[in-house]
Amino acid sequence: MVETTWLALLLLVPLLYVVLSVFEVQRSAYGVSAAGRAAGRAYVQAPSPPVAERRARRAAQLVLEDHRIETGMTDVRLRCTGGPCLSPGSSIVVTVTARAQLPFIPDALGGARPAVRVDGTHTEPYGRFREDRS
């Protein structure tokens, strides 16, 4: 009985840690993907490029907060392709990068907490038959 208990502890604790770490990384990956999608949609619905950039960054920030991802550890990049931003036929490419920190690592061990870098890219077309807002 004692051997079984020790064996279970030695095998289940690391397995539990791996499972929790995978869940944390998956949550972050889903969050950055959803943030990129929301930022792209907010961008193409704005009346002008300066307003579009503010709206896209705010939309990404709200989604990241909903997924409990610290916005201080994220990066949102916006890039227009196919012509000027918000012109017919153009697209906005949104790349969101975050660091998913692994659970249960105390700061007392020193140094930065181990983390996995996750990123998501979303391309939102503006449309060929829309008004030129550039």
Helix-then-strand count for the chain, H and E:
2, 3
pLDDT tens readout for residues 74-128: 999 999 998 888 889 899 999 999 998 888 776 666 667 788 899 999 999 998 8
CA angle (100 as vertex; 93, 67 as ends), nearest 5: 70
Query: Model's pTM, two decimal places?
Result: 0.83
What whole-number distance in Å separates Cα of residue 132 and Cα of residue 54? 19
pLDDT tens readout for residues 1-52: 778 888 888 888 888 888 999 999 999 999 999 999 999 999 999 998 899 9
What whole-number distance in Å separates Cα of residue 11 and Cα of residue 13? 6
Paired with 118 in beta bridges are 98
Spans of all domains in the chain: 2-125
